[in-house]
Structure 1
Amino acid sequence: MSADCYVGATTGAFKLINLKEERFTNAQPLEKLKPKEHGIVGMCFVDNSQTEVLTLQKNGDVNFYNTVTGDYTKLFETENTEAGGPAKAIQLTVNDRIVVAHENGHVQIYNQEGSPQIGDGFEAGANLNFLITDPNNREVALTGGKENTLKLWDLERKATLWSMKNLKDDYLSLRIPIWEANGRFVKDSKLICTTTGHHQIRLFDPKRQRKPVISLDWHENPIRAISTCHREEHVIAGNNCGELALFDLRGKIRPVHKFRGGSGAIRCIDAHPTEKLVASVGIDRFLLVHDVDTKRTLHKIYLKTQLSSVLFSKVNSLTNPIKDEEPEVVTKFFEG
């Protein structure tokens, strides 16, 4: 069963959203879910066809949803998270291998059966907040965290390609603390845009320097969610106060306009890559869909539980209605 949006909840519920009818369906029974173990911390599509979705739970379990069959099943368990801390991020790298990162900084690559592929993995630094792969080169990943500097990694060689250098001390000669909350590759992956727990949006050019080339202070709350969108050199970011805005990265970083409707900390944003649509979720339990250009709130759907992740399907009922026919897609996982 395909959906317009796929939403992960802190309870572990995986929800399929129909925007046209403003309704949702839970992909699995909810009775046995334990939020401290099964809360969803990350999601990603398997490939460009978007017929398969991977979800990562806090306890490290990787689950798989097939939009053709409607099955939502456990794919494999990752390494013991008791020593490594809760799982934090999941991404796809080359040859459809799965990258899983933990809060303590341990990063491991698995095949589809759950077998580690690069020995013991590698360490990206403690208090890791995020890991995201380069959409134009999935062998490269970006990581960062609290007192964990921004780094670019070669996943095959387990080597650092670039790392940020912290800003100079403030006017009181006090060290500026590091708190990289999230990040994205922008401008065909030539630049990196990050958000921080100290309410900053920063732009990095790894080929030029290690310090940010531009930085903007935006309000006074941590900014934990960011997404690229259909507008080139623009990003959409949301903070812990429910404020969501579009930012222009050309020249100085500047806010273009705000989107209304949010009332709780925003945890995840995903914008359609070619259409003027953006979806956001957070602890206020609502899925919000806005028009990026006009700021208009198109949909506001109550999903009953605090939300942590969202994916916006390229094929959806708002832009190109899904036809009721069998998709001509060969699934990559569980073949045969």
Structure 2
Amino acid sequence: MKWTTANLKHANYTAKHELYVGTHTGSFKHLVPASEKSPHGQSNLSDLVGLDKDSRVTSLAFGNEAQTEILLGRAKNTVELHSFAEGKSSRKSVSFTAAPIVGLARYNDKLIAGIGNGQIQSLELEADEEAEPVVITTGNQIDHLRQCAQVRNIVATGGKERQNNLKVYDLSNDGKQIFSSKNLPNDYLQLEVPVWDSDIGFVDGPSVLATCSRTGYVRLYDTRKQRRPVACFASEEHGMSFTTLVARGNFIYTGTTMGALKAFDTRRMKTHVHTYKGFTGGISDLHLDATGRYLSSASLDRYVRIHDAESTVLLYQCYVKSKATKILIRQLENEPQDSEQPEEDADLEVDNNVMENKSLKATPVDNEYEDLFDQMPTVGDSDNESEGEGETTTKQSKTKLKRKSLNQSLKIKKKKL
């Protein structure tokens, strides 16, 4: 599909999805690409009154495995909990002691927030408003906090400089640090390799993690083997600055500040294996659906997009009027069901299918061969033919002779050709 800035939906995109988008102005939008009437329609799920420069959406995550709760963090210390269970929506606000919020997680009855100053704060949802959160210090700065979807008591943080590199914590054990990454050896000038983990992703479990960097590298860690990365991609291109990452299976999907979306194979990290087109601005966030086939992206060019992760085809594109900073994609709950067919129509359809299958299985007739057979003269006619059985036998012999002579003539034609 050619590059375009118009709203579009691919004809082959039939999956039932809905999108939740956070923007730079602070609005929280809901889109339903599966809608037949208005696939690009948008609705605001938060109040637009009182939004300021600190209302920018900086974090968006699902609060439970059923994906019926969404956690929304902003550049200020306020977190919103949006619930969409059983077709009803509700909203609740929780305040922390510092800002900005760079990552959110939900574990049991606690809300976990990663703060830009290097803290992980934990707060009981049912606690009083005056209750102080429990603080875990990870360093002096973090860029992102990510929760493991398979083991929800595991969270990881990463930031700029060596003291804020990738770290993994166990929330069920009082926030104990269980892993800390180690930088690569010094370069050929014996200078330290710069570290900046701008985003983190768990690869189908708590033990394997992937990180990307503003300095142009993508690294893969296995906490069971070693502290240093087990695979690494380092870009030598100018301006290759990775901002966001999502991982699933053997593939890592990364977005850059220059509007490049690339996929890497963890089994061979020397170069990327896919490139997704259609962007005119930096990519701010990525998210995969439950199947891992559809890759949604938010971009600073004010568009949200959905690509096919395997074929790289652009399936959906929508203009959201503001710079999109965060995005989530999930399966639409109320899917339209096909109406039941009457029994007579169903029986007719089954009969038609049976007839079509029979016609497909039947041997095709060669019309040219039959015409040649009918036009050939009869060989070996006899005037002294008896009636009854003798006549039937003569007709059968004539037919055999016709077939034999026709086959011989066809063989001669083939030899001449």
How far apart, CA to CA, are the structure 2 residues paired with 1:290 and 1:105? 34
Which piece of structure 1 moves more, 40-49 or 255-264? Answer: 40-49
Matches within 5 A, 1:54-203: 54-67=71-84, 68=86, 71=89, 73-79=91-97, 81=98, 85-93=99-107, 95-113=108-126, 120-147=134-161, 148-155=164-171, 156-203=173-220
Q: Deviations over 1:254-310 (max 9, x none)?
A: 412111111111111001131511100021110011111111111110101111111
Counterpart for residue 321 of structure 2: 304
Q: Secondary structure at the match of 2:50?
A: coil
* Pairing 1:33–2:33 present: no
Contact 1:238 1:266 survives alignment (8 Å): yes
Which piece of structure 1 moves more, 39-48 or 192-201? Answer: 39-48
Contact 1:291 1:298 survives alignment (8 Å): yes
Instruction: Give the AA of the match of 1:75.
Output: S
Counterpart for residue 67 of structure 2: 50
Q: Secondary structure at the match of 1:153?
A: strand
Distance 1:253 1:143, change over 3 A: farther
Q: CA deviation at 1:186?
A: 0.8
How far apart, CA to CA, are the structure 2 residues paired with 1:179 and 1:104? 15
Distance 1:249 1:14, change over 3 A: same
Counterpart for residue 293 of structure 1: 310
Counterpart for residue 221 of structure 1: 240
* Pairing 1:8–2:22 present: yes
Q: CA deviation at 1:52?
A: 2.1
Runs (5+) with no aligned partner, structure 2: 1-15, 338-417
More strand by share: 1
Distance 1:234 1:212, change over 3 A: same
Distance 1:168 1:117, change over 3 A: farther
Counterpart for residue 327 of structure 1: none
Q: Deviations over 1:183-239 (max 9, x none)?
A: 11114333111101111110111111111111102443221111124xx21121111
Which piece of structure 1 moves more, 167-176 or 194-203? Answer: 167-176
Moved over 4 A (4+): 68-72, 114-119
Instruction: Give the AA of the match of 1:112.
Output: L
How far apart, CA to CA, are the structure 2 residues paired with 1:72 and 1:263? 35
* Pairing 1:17–2:31 present: yes
Indicate the structure whose relative CO is greater, using CA pairs within 8 Å and at least 6 residues apart.
1
Distance 1:322 1:266, change over 3 A: farther
TM-score, with structure 2 as normaliser: 0.70
Instruction: Give the AA of the match of 1:102.
Output: I
Counterpart for residue 257 of structure 1: 274
RMSD (CA atoms): 2.4
Equivalenced residues, count: 312
Q: CA deviation at 1:120?
A: 3.5
Q: Secondary structure at the match of 1:313?
A: strand
Q: Deviations over 1:95-152 (max 9, x none)?
A: 1421101111111112223669996311011220011122222221111100111111
Instruction: Give the AA of the match of 1:49.
Output: A
Contact 1:126 1:145 survives alignment (8 Å): no
* Greater Rg by CA: 2
Q: Secondary structure at the match of 1:121?
A: strand
Instruction: Give the AA of the match of 1:263.
Output: T
Contact 1:75 1:112 survives alignment (8 Å): no
How far apart, CA to CA, are the structure 2 residues paired with 1:192 and 1:49? 23
Instruction: Give the AA of the match of 1:163.
Output: S
Runs (5+) with no aligned partner, structure 1: 324-336
Contact 1:197 1:222 survives alignment (8 Å): yes
How far apart, CA to CA, are the structure 1 residues paired with 2:77 and 2:270? 36
How far apart, CA to CA, are the structure 2 residues paired with 1:110 and 1:127? 20
Contact 1:288 1:299 survives alignment (8 Å): yes
Counterpart for residue 206 of structure 1: 223
How far apart, CA to CA, are the structure 2 residues paired with 1:228 and 1:63? 26
Distance 1:90 1:119, change over 3 A: closer
TM-score, with structure 1 as normaliser: 0.86
